Structure 1
């Protein structure tokens, strides 16, 4: 009888392994437990058919032993699968600093720079030549002065920025700009926080 129980348990183990390939780990765990219990119930029915009481008791002990082994094995596999699942999941919000660069960020000229440059250029152009030539020089001076004024203002507003490059665990990359030293160093572990980052 023990041999029959062993064979049925072996066949059951093979069936559950094949069955697992087409189902999720969670569903498989629940179905596996049901099948183990069903197999145990069938084994107890077989044992009940034994005419000798001592043989019947031994059969029940063997069935219980196989049931306990199957339950323990299923729990071990479930725990192992959960651990593997956790280790394969990446933290999409987690990453590492791969570069910190200090760069010059050019400012933008405003209408004030254009107007001031145009006035100065127009005044200078007005002092050149006479008649129609003076008018043309005034217009050219105003246009050139407006352009120059815009560029001068933009250069005056140039500032330093810190550009932090991050490589995320999900293999994506991003850069973040700061108007002051954020204190990040290459190799430092960070986490995405909204539109910015923070240390882990």
Structure 2
């Protein structure tokens, strides 16, 4: 009877091993547990065919021991797999590879310099000085200088503004990332790309 139990266990184990590579560790553990339960049920049926009660009891003890060993082995394999993250991930995934899902172009203001503030302030002060007389002229000069400085800074920022291309990438592992370019990268939604240093290039 022990030989029969061993043969059944070996056949079922070989059948399950063919599919083990396609499963995640948890799925594999669940499959092994299910197979162990089915094997145990079959073994108990075989045990019921024994001619004496002593033989039946011994057969059941052997079947239970085999079931416990199978579960312990499946649990040990799960624990080992969980201690080695990354080794049981689906093959064929390129973590540095992805697809462009969006390309957005926006204007970026340039940096204003002290020269812009001074030039704008002087121009504003000159214009303000030409308005009114006495104290009113002084106030207009000050207001013109302040307003001119602000306007000068804004004009300079606008003159120095540039375009920014923001490219959003969806990676094969499900993650997303965005990359900024100060020139047209020549990419559009649907293009396949991969990481290259701190940027991306077309695949």
Q: TM class, shorter-chain normalised? A: 0.5 to 0.7
- Across the aligned residues of Structure 1 and Structure 2, the Cα RMSD in angstroms comes to 2.8
**Take 1:167 and 1:197, find their aligned partners in 2: how far apart are those partners?**
12
Name the SS for the 1:96 alignment partner: strand
1:132 matches 2:185: no
Cα shift at 1:91:
3.8
Match of 1:120 in 2: 123
Q: 1:96 aligns with which of 96, 99, 105?
A: 99
Bigger radius of gyration: 1
Q: CA 1:89 to 1:103, structure 2 compared with 1: closer, same or farther past 3 Å?
A: same
Q: How many equivalent pairs are there?
A: 143
Q: Once structures 1 and 2 are overlaid, which stretch shifts more, 171-180 or 3-12?
A: 3-12
Match of 2:72 in 1: 19
> Could you give the per-residue CA deviations for residues 36-72 of structure 1, whole angstroms, max 9, x where no partner exists?
xxxxxxxxxxxxxxxxxxxxxxxxxxxxxxxxxxxxx
1:7 matches 2:60: no
Q: CA 1:85 to 1:181, structure 2 compared with 1: closer, same or farther past 3 Å?
A: same
What is the TM-score when the length of structure 1 is the normalising length? 0.60
**Take 1:191 and 1:6, find their aligned partners in 2: how far apart are those partners?**
55
> Could you give the per-residue CA deviations for residues 11-43 of structure 1, whole angstroms, max 9, x where no partner exists?
565446423431236969xxxxxxxxxxxxxxx
1:197 matches 2:200: yes
Q: CA 1:170 to 1:150, structure 2 compared with 1: closer, same or farther past 3 Å?
A: same
1:147 matches 2:150: yes
